[in-house]
Amino acid sequence: MCKPTTTVNSNTDFSSQKNKMIPSVGFGTFNSFKDNDKVYEAVKYAIKHGYRLIDCASLYGNEKEVGRAINESISEGVVTREELWICSKLWNTEHDPKDVEPACRRSLEAMGLDYFDIYMMHWPVHMSKQSKLVSDRDGGEFEIEIIHSGDRDRLAETYQAMEDLVEQGLVANLGVSNFSSRQLAELLQDCSIPPIANEIERHPLLQQPRLFDYCQEHGIRVIGYSPLGKIGYREDGSPDMLAQPTIQRIARETGKSPSQVVLAWAVQSGSCVIPKSLTPTRIESNFDIQNRFLTIEQMNDLYDLDQGHRYVRVPYYDFPDDAIDLSLTQPKATKGVVDEDNVYRNRFERPGKPLGSNIIIESGAIRKLKDRAREYVPEHCHEAKNYVIVDEIVDELYGDVVVQGFNDAGLETYKIVIPADAVDESGNPSAERHKTLGNFSKCADQILENGISKNSCIISLGGGVVNNLCGFLASSLYRGIALIHITTSMMGMTDAAIDFKQAVNHHLGKNLLGSYYPATNIVIDPEVLETLSKRHILNGISEALKHALAQSRDMTEAIVNPLRDNLHKALRDPAYLEMVCRECIDHKVPTLTNYKDSDFNEMVPQYGHALAHAIEHLSFHTPGVSPLLHGEAVAIGMAMTAEVALILGVCDQATVDDHYKYISQAGLPVFVPKNLSIDAIQYKLTYDKHYVKKPQMGLLQEIGHMHCQDNGSYAVEVENDVIKAALQAHMKRRDSCTNPSKDLYTLDACKAVGFRKHNRTNSPSSVADANGEWDPATASSFGEICNC
């Protein structure tokens, strides 16, 4: 058995290494099995220029030269060993568990190293010992004999042997390469030491969004190989990625090279890259792309280039086209950018008829309106008459301040106030029953009588009701004038305003009259949440939690953990609330931009809503039941929907339990009120917009992942007897719950959502007294909601 140059044992301390982040830009050492001395020189130059991730493999045939460059750089004081991430790979002929350790030790000895920072399984393929490289033509030609390709049990055996390398101190971390999400899911169930990286081909023409998202959500860093495509030996008919018109245009716009644009896209989208070059100037330029110079618009244009094209295809492995990997061809999240003034910006849009909105989050946006107004209102509206529309409650707080801010900025602006109720049936302020054609017409009359032009702008100031009414109004006046939203509710910030849908209510139903019409700008000022009740803040957080449960466990825990630890503090923490808004928007934006591409984009925003709409409506019309706010109903609806998924075999019991845990820890109601019957809920389900002959709903396979059917659809038709069984299971769980402090709203959580209604006097049905404090004498009504 070969030994490395320095003896390593299981006491090797990797603690400092494990706290490091894998660098975003590394250096690839594959050079088509040629010119090893030139690779040595290139690695030395790369380390000197700042590269700290060096990607190697025994297959490449240059371990001796790469190791010499690394060790000389260390001895010369250019870098310390602890600063480096050295990655190597187990070749396919060494998969037999007894061969794994000798293979690793041979590589360490060849490179003169004590340990590897990451040791990867190169391919999920086992070849016989007789398999070999026979030519270096076009990246390598092989004579091969396949023992297995992708066999779960055998891959697990090989990986378990790799885990022994960690125990012996030969390897700090483990990784894989060319694994699909299905293979990763199986490996995560079978292993003791999860892989920290998956090295795959990734670039704008092959983005692998489903696999990428799966890796991100399971803490596996994607390292993209061939990030510039194949430059030297592309197959006939294979696209020249760097010559793509979009990439060329963005290169001109940014003053960067096409290569830098492509590498920057990869880094800004969240993966590592390992470009290779023997040319010093290219080595430098490939590294100097980490200052996030691409705008949101440019990133979205690059996302649009995905065509699933692989430059790297090998004769010994067919990349699995399993549904988990390929059913969804869009990103799960589109990250916003934060500028030097800590202003967050994101954007959503759709192809076809132009629909696009900019989203701006800035604390103090209303205070700074004099300085910001001309940015918010489109330039062509600056000389026209503009109209702020606000409801009576929000008007008392911000109406005059906002109108004054626009006028002080030199924009001629007028205010129109619509009615609102200080208290509705739920004991909350609301303008919902005033979102009517009557008030639509009154606003239109005032605007037309006072004067309007094609260049006028409608500015909505308020929550979702005002946002929706103004959107429909702007789309109708002169067949469409400019629209901006300044949304003042948490529900508006996480849901209502972040959409193209605009509507008013009809006496036969909610939101029956409307249009699809974009606001040019959507402005969110987290400071306004100081005047919003805690119950209403939680109401909006529920919509963010919906996206989190459906799209990201990390986001779920980021939302829930602060609420679990100190609900009172979190609901009044501007930084926390802004984080919730940003995360929700990041995950909602791709569902809007890619809406027509997959019903995933309908099922995620509607997660839990089929059942939620039913119980929300019934709560307002059933004696003995306290009305539920929309977000509260959604929280309960998601828990019930998880029961549906369990019965259908889509998810396991742990996923159902996670729903109840996360929702209740967030301070939201988790159980349907006791006076609502199964028959009433099932009957009301027939009015859901997705109901045809049966209820349709999206289901979760696990937290962070929607279930995709074999036909590629995320909309699952559910039999009525399944709904009934799910409701029975949910109510049985509710009725058997004996520890409310663990599984339901706690008393402190109930106190935390005692609320002030924008400084107005609370109704007798509130759980808070006139000063906004907890009032046990009036808590019974809200207790019905929280089951405590």
Domain CATH for 76 = 3.20.20.100
Q: Same domain for 31 and 141? A: yes
Cβ contact 176:120 at 8 Å: yes
Name 522's bridge partners: 359, 485
CA 271 – CA 221 distance, rounded (Å) = 7
Residue 553 lies in a domain: no
Could you say which DSSP state residue 498 is in?
Answer: S
DSSP string, 510-579: EEEEEEE---SEEEE-GGGGGGS-HHHHHHHHHHHHHHHHHH-HHHHHHHHHHHHH-HHHHTT-HHHHHH
Question: Please, which residues have CB within 8 angstroms of residue 465's CB and are 6 or more apart in sequence?
Answer: 391, 430, 431, 432, 434, 435
- Report the pLDDT value the prediction gives residue 9, as an integer from 0 to 100: 42
Q: Same domain for 588 and 522? A: no
- Report the pLDDT value the prediction gives residue 273, as an integer from 0 to 100: 97
Q: Collapsing DSSP states into helix, strand and coil, what is residue 604?
A: coil
Say how many domains are in the chain.
Answer: 3
- Report the pLDDT value the prediction gives residue 511, as an integer from 0 to 100: 67
Burial class from Cβ neighbours inside 10 Å (0-12, 13-18, 19+) for residue 422 reads middle
- Residue 545: Cβ within 10 Å count: 29
Which of these three, 536, 565, 598, is where a domain ends?
Answer: 536
Q: Same domain for 609 and 694? A: yes
Q: Same domain for 597 and 714? A: yes
Q: In this structure, what are the phi and psi dihedrals at residue 409, rounded to the nearest 5 degrees?
A: -85, 0
Residue 324 lies in a domain: no
Residues in the chain: 788
Residue 502 lies in a domain: yes
| Sheet with strand 344-350: strands edge to edge | 337-338, 344-350, 355-361, 521-524, 482-487, 457-462, 386-391, 413-418
Chain-centre distance of CA 438, in angstroms?
A: 39
CA 612 – CA 649 distance, rounded (Å) = 22
Question: Please, which residues have CB within 8 angstroms of residue 295's CB and are 6 or more apart in sequence?
Answer: 337
- Report the pLDDT value the prediction gives residue 594, as an integer from 0 to 100: 86
CA 94 – CA 162 distance, rounded (Å) = 11
Q: Same domain for 530 and 591? A: no
- With helix as H, strand as E and coil as C, how does 712-764 read? CCCCEECCHHHHHHHHHHHHHHHHHCCCHHHHCCCHHHHHHCCCCECCECCCC
- Report the pLDDT value the prediction gives residue 363, as an integer from 0 to 100: 92
Q: Same domain for 529 and 611? A: no
Name 224's bridge partners: 200, 273
Chain-centre distance of CA 177, in angstroms?
A: 24
CA 462 – CA 418 distance, rounded (Å) = 11
346: CATH: 3.40.50.1970
Burial class from Cβ neighbours inside 10 Å (0-12, 13-18, 19+) for residue 762 reads buried
Q: Same domain for 525 and 596? A: no
CA 437 – CA 442 distance, rounded (Å) = 9
Q: Phi/psi zone of residue 410: left (φ > 0), alpha (ψ -120 to 50 degrees), beta?
A: left
Question: Please, which residues have CB within 8 angstroms of residue 721's CB and are 6 or more apart in sequence?
Answer: none
Q: Same domain for 409 and 500? A: yes
Residue 634 lies in a domain: yes
For the record, the structure tokens of 151 come out as 């066999």
Which residues have a catalytic role annotated? 60
CA angle 688, 692, 695 (to 5 degrees): 60
Q: Same domain for 617 and 530? A: no
Residue 265 lies in a domain: no
pLDDT along the chain (788 residues), means of 10: 34 56 95 87 96 95 96 96 96 96 97 97 94 71 86 95 96 96 91 96 92 89 92 66 95 96 96 95 95 91 90 83 47 80 83 77 94 94 95 92 96 92 68 79 92 94 89 91 94 88 71 82 94 92 96 94 95 94 94 88 93 88 88 96 96 95 96 91 72 79 90 91 94 78 37 33 33 34 33
CA 270 – CA 293 distance, rounded (Å) = 14
Please report the beta strands in 316-411, taking only residues with DSSP state E, as ranges in sequence order: 337-338, 344-350, 355-361, 386-391
Q: In this structure, what are the phi and psi dihedrals at residue 774, rounded to the nearest 5 degrees?
A: -65, 130
Q: Largest Cα–Cα distance of the chain, in whole Å? A: 92
Q: Same domain for 598 and 504? A: no
For residue 31, the one-letter residue type is N
Name 430's bridge partners: 421
For the record, the structure tokens of 726 come out as 């799910």
Q: Same domain for 61 and 201? A: yes
Burial class from Cβ neighbours inside 10 Å (0-12, 13-18, 19+) for residue 737 reads middle
Q: In this structure, what are the phi and psi dihedrals at residue 365, rounded to the nearest 5 degrees?
A: -55, -40
Q: Same domain for 663 and 524? A: no
Cβ contact 266:300 at 8 Å: no
User: Among 632, 623, 660, which Cα is nearest to 739's?
Assistant: 660
Helix or strand holding residue 385 (H, E): none
Domain span at residue 748 reads 573-786
Q: Can you say whether the dihedral through the CA atoms of 151, 154, 158, 160 is positive or negative?
A: positive
Which of these three, 517, 536, 555, is where a domain ends?
Answer: 536
Residue 560 lies in a domain: no
Determine the straight-line distance between the first and last CA of the chain, rounded to whole angstroms: 66
- Report the pLDDT value the prediction gives residue 259, as an integer from 0 to 100: 96
Please report the beta strands in 50-151, taking only residues with DSSP state E, as ranges in sequence order: 53-55, 85-90, 116-121, 125-127, 132-135, 141-143, 146-149
**CA-based R_g, the chain, Å:** 29
Residue 40 lies in a domain: yes
Q: Phi/psi zone of residue 423: left (φ > 0), alpha (ψ -120 to 50 degrees), beta?
A: beta
660: CATH: 1.20.1090.10
Q: Phi/psi zone of residue 735: left (φ > 0), alpha (ψ -120 to 50 degrees), beta?
A: alpha
Name 176's bridge partners: 121, 198
Helix or strand holding residue 432 (H, E): none
Residue 123 lies in a domain: yes
User: Among 592, 621, 715, 611, which Cα is nearest to 671's?
Assistant: 611
CA 531 – CA 572 distance, rounded (Å) = 10
